[in-house]
Each structure stands twice: as structure tokens, then as C-alpha cells.
Amino acid sequence: MDSLSISEAAHTWSQTILQWQEEICHALEQEDGTGKFQYDSWERAAGGRGITRIIEGGKVFEKGGVNTSSVYGELPEHMRQLLQTEHRFFFAAGLSLVIHPLNPYVPTVHANWRYFELYDNAGRVADRWIGGGTDLTPYYLFEEDAQYFHQCLKQAMEAFGEDLYPRFKHECDVYFRNTHRNGEARGIGGVFYDYLRPGYAGLELQQMFAFQQANKQAFLQAYLPIVQRRKNLSYGEREIFWQEIRRGRYVEFNLIHDRGTLFGLKTGGRTESILMSLPPRARWVYQFNPEPGSPEAALLEVCLTPRTWA
């Protein structure tokens, strides 16, 4: 299957995410003040290409990536089983970002927006859907930040249906959990959605792309003000230690449970780009539990019990 078989919608989406990548990287560089994103383009031998943008050693952002990829080709058998489809050919494109700040009082953030197509043997689109979401992983809980973050996401979704935010907030609470650690969440959630096909909630394909656009814009509106409020707070070894403990939980989720990571690795994706989501430093301490009543324990409590923030 070659690029001429890709649909017009797929071509449009591929160009759109490149524009978003440039916009987001510019906004984050402006916020950091000194850090700059490296540019690394790559090609997938089986079909497709991508651009990896990485920031490291910044004044605000210790490590982060804003990546785009547009790949296509034949689905491996195990992926056809996972997707429960008989269709052999696919197109998948998306933007995925993870930002790990230096200051433990600034949260890690993740977001992605993707589009998927499956093709029949004649090269016609047989199925298509969107997915995505945004979630916040603080190391210390500031309730006003959690409320603000969720309110931004809620407002973006309400224009497309009043029931979408509570539905996708619940999906996020369910998805971003380390089930092997008694269901401990990696953060305070956000929104998560997948397999949204044309007609879902009365939205056709172009409206779904507009929905993705609104969620991308909400990410910048939700995250950057939190960074600005917290990036100059003083911290010490205790805060760094706890940050590294929680980053360990982040690593566990991404390597064990995350669908995007597993899909990329199992379809021959570029390992360096896929694993850019991992933090530069993490820690595992045997049976570590924060002191009762401490700020660290307060964060852990909301990770164990989802709350309504907006």
C-alpha cells in the first residue's frame, strides 16, 4: 500500500499535526526561556515518517518531547487481533507530547491527538476513528491548579456536547492507573477518549477534527498558567526524592499499560521517539510510603481516590 491510497482526510490530518507541533514547541520554548527543541526527522521503512522534537536541560523543562508521526502499511497479525479486525492495512497519525519539568512543584503533563484509518483489500477506507486526551501528573497537590486544569478541558468539550467531559474524565480516571499497584493513578487525570467514529455524539468527521483542535488549544490554556504559577517555588532534596518516586510510577504505567507505547513498539515504530515519554531521572524505593498527613501523602490520596475537579 503506498501513500496514494491514503485518504484526503488522512493527508489533511498529517499536515494539521505538523502545524500543531510547531505551535506547541514555540509556546513551550517561550515559557522555558533558554531551552530549545531539537529537530529530528525520520522515516519508517514499512511506510511513513515522523518528526521528533526533544527539549533537554532547560531552565523550566528538564526533559520533554513533542512528536508527530504518520505511518501506514500492513497490520501485524497480533495487532489485527488486538483491534479485532480482518482489515490488513492501516494509517495512523498523531501528535504526542510529554513534558517533565525540573521543579517538583510543576506538574508533568501528557497529551496526544490521533487519527486512525483501516482499509479493505481494494484500498477503500473501511473504518476510521479519532482518539486523544490530556492528563496532569503533579508531584504536589495544589487544588486550585487541578480545578483550573479540568475546567479548561471541560469548557473546550462542552461546545460539542455537555456529556462529553464527564464521560471522558471518567475514562481518563479508569485508564491512567497502575492496576498492578492497587489501581493507583499516575496523577489527577484529565480527559481520555478513543475509537470515536463519525456519528459519535452526532459529530461527523470534520466536526471531530474541530473537536481535536479545541482540545489541543485547551491544553495550552490549561497547562502554561500552572507552570507560570509554580516554576519559581523553592524546593530541596525532599521534593526531588518524592518527584523521582512518582516518576517511577509514570515509567511503570508507560511501559506496562500504555496503548500508544505498545502499539508503536509492536508495529516497528521508532524506539527513541516512542520512549521519549520517560523522565530523565526516576527512583524505586522498596515499600516506600509517605508520612501520614504530609503533602506527599495528600497527593497519593487523590491518586488512589478520583475526585471531581470541575
What is the distance between the alpha carbons of residues 187 and 204, in angstroms, rounded to a whole number?
32
CA distances from 2 to 17, 18, 52, 121 (A): 20, 21, 23, 13
- Residues 24, 32: contact at Cβ < 8 Å? no
> What residues have CB less than 8 Å from 287, skipping those under 6 apart?
none
C-alpha cell at 284: 524505586
What is the distance between the alpha carbons of residues 154 and 149, in angstroms, rounded to a whole number?
9
What is the distance between the alpha carbons of residues 136 and 186, in angstroms, rounded to a whole number?
9
- Dihedrals φ, ψ of 206, to 5°? -65, -35
Q: Which of 26, 87, 110, 150 is catalytic?
A: 110
- Residues 73, 193: contact at Cβ < 8 Å? no
- In the block, residue with C-alpha cell 521543579: 103
- Residues 186, 176: contact at Cβ < 8 Å? yes
- Residues 40, 113: contact at Cβ < 8 Å? no
- In the block, residue with C-alpha cell 523521582: 244
Query: Closest Cα partner for 67 from 44, 92, 40?
Result: 40
Whether 100 is a known active-site residue: answer: no
Q: How many CB atoms lie within 10 A of CB 226?
A: 23
Catalytic residues, which ones? 110
